[in-house]
Amino acid sequence: MPRVRYFAAAEEAAGRDEETRSETTLGALRVAVARQYPGLGGILPRCAVLVGGERVGDDAVLGDADVVDVLPPFAGG
């Protein structure tokens, strides 16, 4: 089962810094977490969502060893 890590405002919205999920595609994961954590659903479209450190499409298949990072936009430079 993929591990999802939430950072900054995404962590605050989800109320946790990480969790294990059962969804098998990135698209299904996005829908499920937006539904489960309504506050996250509001910022998720603006977040960078990386699988194994890379941007992938919503059709990407998630494996048990995958790490998904949800990174909201950061201010500063």
Does the predicted TM-score (pTM) go above 0.85? yes
CA 18 to chain centre: 9
The residue count of the chain comes to 77
Q: Is residue 34 part of a domain?
A: yes
Q: Is residue 77 part of a domain?
A: no
Domain count, the chain: 1
Contact 8, 73 (CB under 8 A): no
CATH of the domain at 36: 3.10.20.30
**Model pLDDT for residues 15-60, shown as the tens digit of each residue:** 999 999 999 999 999 999 999 999 999 899 999 999 999 999 999 9
Whether residue 77 has pLDDT greater than 60: no
Mean pLDDT, to the nearest integer, of 52-72?
97
Q: Is residue 46 part of a domain?
A: yes
Provide the domain limits for residue 66: 3-71
Q: How confident is the model at residue 76 (pLDDT cuts 50, 70, 90)?
A: low
